A and B are shown apart, each in its own frame.
Chain A
Amino acid sequence: MIRDRRRLSDLLPRRRSLWIAFLLLPAAAIMSVFVAWPLLSAFRLAFYRFDGLMPSDFVGLENFRQVLTEAPFSDWTWNALHHNVIVFCALMVLENGTALLLAFALLKALPGHRVHQVIVFLPVVLSSVIVGFLWKLFLHPLFGLVNQALALVGLHGPAWLGQESTALGSIILANVWHWVGFPTLVLLAGMQRISKEVIEAARLDGAGDGTLLLKIIWPLLAPSVTIVTILTFIGSFNWFELPYIMAGLTGSPGGSTDVLGLYFYRTAFGSTTTGIQDFGQGSALAVLMFLLIAGVTAIALRLLRRREVEL
């Protein structure tokens, strides 16, 4: 008896479209109403001059011009952008590099690995308020553990969060501590999907850990690496909570920890201690951030996905 051979292509196009629409609609609807529409309304305000809290005249690209080319606003913009780039590069190397090593270490399933797997992720669940404050305590110039430890070996530790040269780095380190568990898990999941036969074959060929990691695992890890890279990029350019807690809304000291997220927030919503809101300028900044992040993400995604397919 020949059974009905049904393939996807056999489905009536109309039924197929309905099915796809059914799958897409709820998410699209929720996002449109609660994200897309409010965002577009806010973006629209970037083209208006704000005097106080209400938009007044339509000024076209004036806010954009000011934020990109007029001092001191442009100084702040480029300074912040510069720091975001530093944060991204640092996190890719420090956070994701460490995550790769940790994931590999966990992959080996050595005794105690389950406990380690839990511990590595515990900081991730903490609120940034706790993490920020804890690290401020550790880095405190007078009684912080870091300086106390340095004193034991005769070194004099600086005011980590008070000096322009060390402030950003300190916050980045706190961020690595906070978040490294997440890429570790994603990469571990990716590694565990690699079939055991491939790994065993490589071991039989005499591959050591280093070769295994670089030549076998790393290429096959491409999908997970894509996810981690894109999320790190977006996270770096939207960075807000940790610098807010550890350095304050103005990116002290002297703007050395200022990033686009902080700059946008205090422009759009003001700060009780520096003054006033300029929602038009804030929206312009947000539009620029969106164009930058979305643009780079789209390109990066293309490139990274291509790499996945090739392998």
Chain B
Amino acid sequence: MNIWRIGRVALAAAALWGFAATAAQAVELSFWTWRQEDKAAYNELFADFTKANPDITVKFESFPDESYPTIVSAALAAGHGGDVIHTHAYGWLEQFVKAGYFVAQDQATVPSLANMPADALIAGTYRADGRVYSLPFASQTLGLFINKDVFAKAGLTPPKTWDEFLTVSKALKDKGIIPLANGLGTSWFNEMFVAIFTNPFLGPDFVTDLTTGKATFKDPRYIAALGKLLELRDVMSPGYEGIDYDTAGQLFVTGRAAMLAGGSFDIATYRAENPQISMDFVAPPTPKAGDPGTVTKFYDGGYAVNAASPNKEAALKLVNWMGTKQFGDKFSALLGNISPIKGVVINDPLLAEVATLNQTAMPHINVVYFRFQKPTGSELLQGDITKMMAGSITPDQLGADLTAGVAKWYAPFQGK
């Protein structure tokens, strides 16, 4: 063999190999989230993505929830941070967008946006320019958990109206069962408690009135709804002021309590804690018979692309893939979350029930509308609700505090 020929073949082979190598440049994306619990599920999902896009691998990095905003802010301020960042929604997201940390997503770069319903997109939209910066990932629903076994054993049927709720609770108490597992020991859970029980009494018109300024939190509808909460003091365990989120869950899961006002995000948790549990997730009690059940819904956040990422194209590809039905189906199945993506099939019967309830749901008012600036509706409500339930302030005062505080930045309330 001629040495020149060998040489040319070798050179050609090298060139081809080099070309192939550069063409298939491996990119490793980092995915940042606070969902420490979901590591295994996301890794499985990312494996699917890499199968379809062999040159992109994804590394899952999680951080504890309370420190998450600090960690993300510090990293982004220094020009670092994950390529794809899991975000919360509404006001939480806006702070980061205002600083220019995220890439705007549109039809061209993220076609999956078309798979999202309008109210989901609002959660990830920056109000000032109307563009989406975070692709929605899940909705959370707040309603009433029912322990079917406890009810069956007590010979009672789960309540539909408020009056039924109170009657059934009394019967449960007589049998030594705690009617409602909730307590007031955890601030954010208190806010959910308020939303779950008051929304059926407020109705969607009230929410519209809030956004136009026709009503504030001083509106008689809101005050009346708050008043209803006071009636719940009798149906919670003695010492409920100190019962926190963890304990409430435990009381429900072990059957010591019959009902729990909570979120769909806990369906998977409770099942894991007690695989034998036979539970239902229903709408909270309605004002009167014949009313449709009203659960509370909000979008929990989405996936954003870091503006300082060196791999923006790959990151956008990943985010886009996380908006496809293929992703949504598996996501809901693995994580027990309701994906907003249109056409996603939910096989789990309980979760499917929740999805049906979602169609007539009301928004989680404070989270969706009042967390944009300080003081947020949430901080004001969480600070005052324990006082109201303890009797040191009246529902009117709470409504007034809430209105006055939020009016500092919420134009529709100013001057009311």
Contact = CB atoms under 8 A, between A and B. Distances in A.
Interface of A: 51-54, 71-73, 136, 139-142, 147, 158-164, 248-250, 252-255, 267, 269-278, 281
Interface in B202-243: 237-243
A274 B187 contact: yes
Contacts of A162: 183-185, 239-243, 386
A254 B98 contact: no
Contacts of A272: 34, 65-66, 68-69, 88, 92
B187 A248 contact: yes
Contacts of A254: 383-384, 386-387, 390, 392
B372 A276 contact: yes
B96 A52 contact: yes
B83 interface: no
Contact of B375 (A72, A147, A160): A72
A275 B376 contact: yes
Contact of A159 (B94, B98, B191, B242): B242
A252 B371 CA distance: 19
B91 A142 contact: no
Interface string B342-380: 000000000000000000000000000001111110111
A174 to B, nearest CB: 14
Nearest to A164: B390
Contacts of A275: 91-92, 371-372, 374, 376, 378-379
Q: Which 3 A-B pairs have the closest CB atoms?
A: A141-B239, A159-B242, A162-B241
Given A159-B242, A254-B387, A53 B99 contact: yes
Contacts of A164: 386-387, 390, 392
18 contacts: A52-B98, A72-B380, A140-B242, A141-B237, A141-B238, A142-B239, A142-B243, A162-B185, A163-B390, A248-B187, A252-B186, A253-B184, A253-B241, A253-B386, A272-B92, A274-B378, A275-B371, A276-B374
Interface residues of B, number: 56
A136 B66 CA distance: 19
- Looking at B94, B191, B238, B239, the one whose CB has the most chain A CB atoms below 10 A away is B239
A96 B291 CA distance: 61
A274 B99 contact: no
B164 interface: no
A40 to B, nearest CB: 17
B364 to A, nearest CB: 12
Nearest to A79: B383
B375 A273 contact: no
B242 A269 contact: no
A270 B241 contact: no
B96 A274 contact: no
A232 to B, nearest CB: 27
Nearest to A255: B383
Given A52-B96, A270-B69, A272-B69, A250 B240 contact: no
- Looking at A71, A142, A163, the one whose CB has the most chain B CB atoms below 10 A away is A142
A101 to B, nearest CB: 31
Given A140-B247, A269-B69, A275-B372, 5 more contacts: A140-B242, A161-B242, A162-B184, A249-B187, A274-B382
Nearest to B77: A53
A109 to B, nearest CB: 43
B65 A53 contact: no
Contacts of B97: 52
Contacts of A269: 69-70, 73
B186 A52 contact: no
Contact of B243 (A159, A163, A255): A159
B188 interface: yes
B96 A53 contact: yes
B232 to A, nearest CB: 15
A273 B386 contact: no
A275 to B, nearest CB: 4
A108 to B, nearest CB: 41
B240 to A, nearest CB: 7
B94 A250 contact: no
A31 B374 CA distance: 34
Contacts of A71: 404
Contacts of B387: 164, 253-254
A256 B362 CA distance: 32
B92 A276 contact: yes
A271 B66 contact: yes
B378 A273 contact: yes
Contacts of B50: none
Given A52-B94, A252-B382, A276-B374, A159 B390 contact: no
Interface in B377-405: 378-380, 382-384, 386-387, 390, 392, 401, 404-405
B413 interface: no
Interface string B281-293: 0000000000000
B371 A276 contact: yes
B95 interface: yes
Contact of A141 (B94, B96, B187, B243): B243
Contacts of B299: none
